[in-house]
Copies of this chain bind each other. A is one copy, B any other.
Amino acid sequence: MHTHFTIDCVIYSFHEGQLKVLLTERNESPYSGWWALPGFFVNKYEEMEDAVARISYEMTGLKDIFMEQLAAFAGVKRHPEGRILTVAYTTLIRFDDVKNKVKPVTDYMRQANWFSVSELPELAFDHQEIINLSLDKLKRSISYSTAPFELLPDKFTLTQLQQVYEEILRKKLDKRNFRKKIMNLGYLKELNEVQQHVSYRAARLYKFDKRKFAKLFSQE
């Protein structure tokens, strides 16, 4: 009638054209030395949302990131000591905002690192399964979520946006059709600025307009 209770975090970012997930190297038995999702035990009198904030910080050094619940995983056989119920949370962050800040502030993990979701090492516990479920959800919800814009910098090119879509959907899209469709949605603001420091024709930059996006999905 009691169970251990943990939180695991699936933290995505986008870098060099690839969807990345943040993993930590465990320093504790079981699975010591294995890569795993950042996660830890919830305290007795701690609200789940507070635990998510605390644990994501302790395991990765990242602060103030908003996480959304994915699902609960509770296999009795996940751990020799008996059941450990974990609730998985997901978030998406801008790689550039955090690139040098990702470092555990606890001894439970030795290091943290970004891995391309298509080239993951063998993971501890059922963490691969958790990631798979989370990728499915991301794919299904992409058309009505702000996910792509949470992964990109404030100003981005349409090619970058298309790459994010292609990574999440795991398929190539047609450039002209993609641009037509995304611009038609009306929540991208075209800027009078272009990319800097590229050795080819610089692409125009765009911004995401949260308000217009919200309006689009408010009434329906």
A residues in contact (CB < 8 Å) with B: 1-5, 41-48, 69, 71-72, 74-76, 82-83, 85, 87
Contact = CB atoms under 8 A, between A and B. Distances in A.
Contacts of A72: 48, 69, 71-72, 87
B47 A1 contact: no
Given A3-B3, A3-B42, A4-B1, A48 B74 contact: yes
B87 A45 contact: no
Given A72-B69, A72-B72, A44 B83 contact: yes
B2 A44 contact: yes
B1 A43 contact: yes
A82 B43 contact: no
A174 B161 CA distance: 37
A85 B41 CA distance: 14
A185 B46 CA distance: 48
Nearest to A43: B1
A81 to B, nearest CB: 11
A142 to B, nearest CB: 13
Contacts of A82: 44-45
Nearest to A44: B1
A85 B44 CA distance: 11
CB-based closest 7 A-B pairs: A48-B74, A72-B72, A3-B5, A2-B2, A72-B87, A1-B41, A47-B76
12 contacts: A1-B5, A2-B2, A2-B3, A3-B5, A3-B44, A45-B83, A46-B76, A48-B72, A48-B75, A69-B71, A72-B72, A74-B87
